[in-house]
Amino acid sequence: MRVLRYLKNSPCKGLFFPRNSELQLLGFSDADWAGCLDTRRSIYGQCFFLGKSLISWRTKKQLTVSRSFSEAEFRALAATTCELQWLLYLLLDLQLTTAKLPVIYFDNQSALHIAANPVFHERTKHLEIDCHLVRDKLQAGMMKLLPVTFHEQTADFFTKALLPLPFHILLSKLGMVDIYHPPTCRGILHHEDKQENDDNLRSKLPD
């Protein structure tokens, strides 16, 4: 199975929570329109960082069929808003009220306009509940929405299979480390040699 062979590549990869991280929630939201070939429902992905540490992520198939790309994106945005609300409640319970204003990034211009503009058109009528949800939270100052370019869209990672290059670029952004990863130079070397080199190094390098 391919995913297992991928895991073989780095079985000890894990999350890393750096100490020098800010207290700000950053969310990313993305959708793959009609991504499921069997039902033509969309798949959405979201992830949340606390400063630099990734704490929450999700890939999910939407419950209803979306007729347009913006609609799929907007439903994803509404789901992300709900998750953000929960995270904020959690932070409140942990007495962290000093955190900066959370930001949700997403890459769809028209969904941004739907969120900002209180007009319903024929094609957004059925989105009304989601619209109200996002707008209310925006106006209450719970979060702010910012556009992000396609290349910086981290949530892309959770909505589609990527080619190796973009996959690894995004993976490095998501703050994963492998503390068990061997040094890149492979080969055979006797242990004594290593010790010797180590000693050499210590004697030659100034402290």
In the range 66-105, which residues lie near another protein by CB under 8 A? 86-87, 89-96
Residues in 183-202 at the binding interface with another protein, rule: CB under 8 A = 183, 185-191, 193-194, 197-198, 200-202
Q: How many CA atoms lie within 13 A of 67 on its CB side?
A: 6
Q: Least CB distance from residue 196 to another protein, whole Å?
A: 9
The smaller minimum CB distance to another protein, of residues 65 and 92, is found at 92
Among 113, 123, 144, 168, binds another protein (CB under 8 A): 168
Rg of the chain in Å (alpha carbons): 22
The smaller minimum CB distance to another protein, of residues 55 and 103, is found at 55
Residue 179 makes contact with another protein by CB under 8 A:
yes
Site string for another protein, 2-41 (x = CB under 8 A): xxxxxxxxxxxxxxxxxxxx-x------------xxx---
The smaller minimum CB distance to another protein, of residues 113 and 181, is found at 181
DSSP letter string, 163-190: -HHHHHHHHHHTTEE-TTPPPS------
Among 135, 142, 162, 173, binds another protein (CB under 8 A): 162
Residues in 97-156 at the binding interface with another protein, rule: CB under 8 A = none
**Under the phi-then-psi rule, with left for phi > 0, alpha for psi from -120 to 50, and beta for the rest, what region is 64?**
beta
- The Cα–Cα gap between 147 and 108 comes to 7
The smaller minimum CB distance to another protein, of residues 121 and 186, is found at 186
Residue 160 makes contact with another protein by CB under 8 A:
yes
Q: How many CA atoms lie within 13 A of 144 on its CB side?
A: 6
The smaller minimum CB distance to another protein, of residues 55 and 135, is found at 55
Residue 207 makes contact with another protein by CB under 8 A:
no
Q: Is 202 helix (H, G, I), strand (E, B) or coil?
A: helix
Among 57, 82, 138, 142, binds another protein (CB under 8 A): 57
Amino acid at 148: V
DSSP letter string, 42-61: -EEEEEEEETTEEEEEEEEE
Torsion sign across C-alpha atoms 19, 21, 26, 29 = negative
